[in-house]
Amino acid sequence: MKQTLTKLMLLLMLTIGTQQAHAQFGSLVNKAKIATKKAIRQESKSLTKEATKAVRNAGAKSTEYTYGDHVYTMKGTFSINRYDSNAAGTVTFTHVPSDYEEFETVYNEFLGTTPHGTAAMMPMAMEIYARNPEEGLRCIKLINWPTNVNSVVSQLQSKLKAVQAGDSYGQRYLPAAVLKGATPANGYTPIRPYTVTMNASVNKHQDLQFTGNGRVMYLYIMGKGWDTEQRSVEIVKSPDSETFQVFNCPALYTGCKQIQGTWGGLD
């Protein structure tokens, strides 16, 4: 721009005289400044519109996370800041996390950053616990509010002992009962990739002083393993945390309908 204007000034001086050239040159500079400002404003408006649109749609867009050959996706419109009776969420995963390291990474970097992603990790933690109680306990402690850990673990310990004793009370297939496509009639065989679907609860958010001014929100995980398919889960977030935690979830470890046939397990 500067070089172009300089060339124009020299041309004007050669053709119409120095004084007049300076006057016309000044006019050209002013026009150039005005044109530049207009272009910047237009570009700014365009970028602002794009950014605003992206923010508005962010909650509804699907995102993906890969750990090795395991793929996780997440989409949803749940917000800890506001109650929406129409909020919904979906989380898919190709495999149950192989160990605590994978579980922790997926939680901190991806699923734990949303209410629905955190809720969907409870069935994963339950399955890991059934495979390896030591690893599973670490997973449960990671994603649960401290006061909820003992309740979850005591119930899972009881069920695991029943499984080992061959008692049907144990319901080894319980973690699969909330996965899409799994029913008692088909041996709790879910569709692939494994999918957890969630809807808003009728209960609105609550602010809790004892959580450090944190807030609890409620959602339903949908599952065909019970007559009442809505499995209530409470999710909490404290102001100083980047991730969410499960505040309460007895509906997830309440016994489901007895299986018809043989359970094939989860990958």
In three state form, how does the secondary structure of 35-82 look? Answer: HHHHHHHHHHHHHHHHHHHHHHHHCCCCEEEEECCEEEEEEECCCCCC
**Contact call for residues 127 and 166 (beta carbons, < 8 A):** no
Selection from 118, 106, 123 nearest residue 80 by Cα = 118
End-to-end CA distance of the chain: 63
Answer whether residue 156 shows pLDDT above 50: yes
Percent of the chain with pLDDT over 70: 75
The pLDDT score that the predictor gives to residue 56 is 38
Cα within 13 Å of Cα(161), Cβ side: 6
Mean pLDDT of the chain: 84
Q: How confident is the model at residue 33 (pLDDT cuts 50, 70, 90)?
A: low
The residue ranges of DSSP E strands in the chain, in sequence order, are: 63-67, 70-76, 88-93, 194-200, 206-208, 214-222, 230-237, 245-248
Q: How confident is the model at residue 1 (pLDDT cuts 50, 70, 90)?
A: low
Answer whether residue 125 shows pLDDT above 60: yes
Total-model pTM: 0.76
Inter-axis angle of helices 115-131 and 100-109, to 10 degrees? 180
**Contact call for residues 214 and 183 (beta carbons, < 8 A):** no
**56-86 residue pLDDT tens:** 344 445 699 999 999 999 999 999 999 999 9
Answer whether residue 23 shows pLDDT above 50: yes
Q: How much is the average pLDDT of 149-155?
A: 96
Residue type, 5: L
Q: Which residues of 199-219 are buried (b: 16+ CB within 10 A; e: fewer)?
A: bbbeeebeeeeebeebbbbbb
In 3-state terms, the chain is what percent helix, strand and coil (to 5)? 50, 20, 30
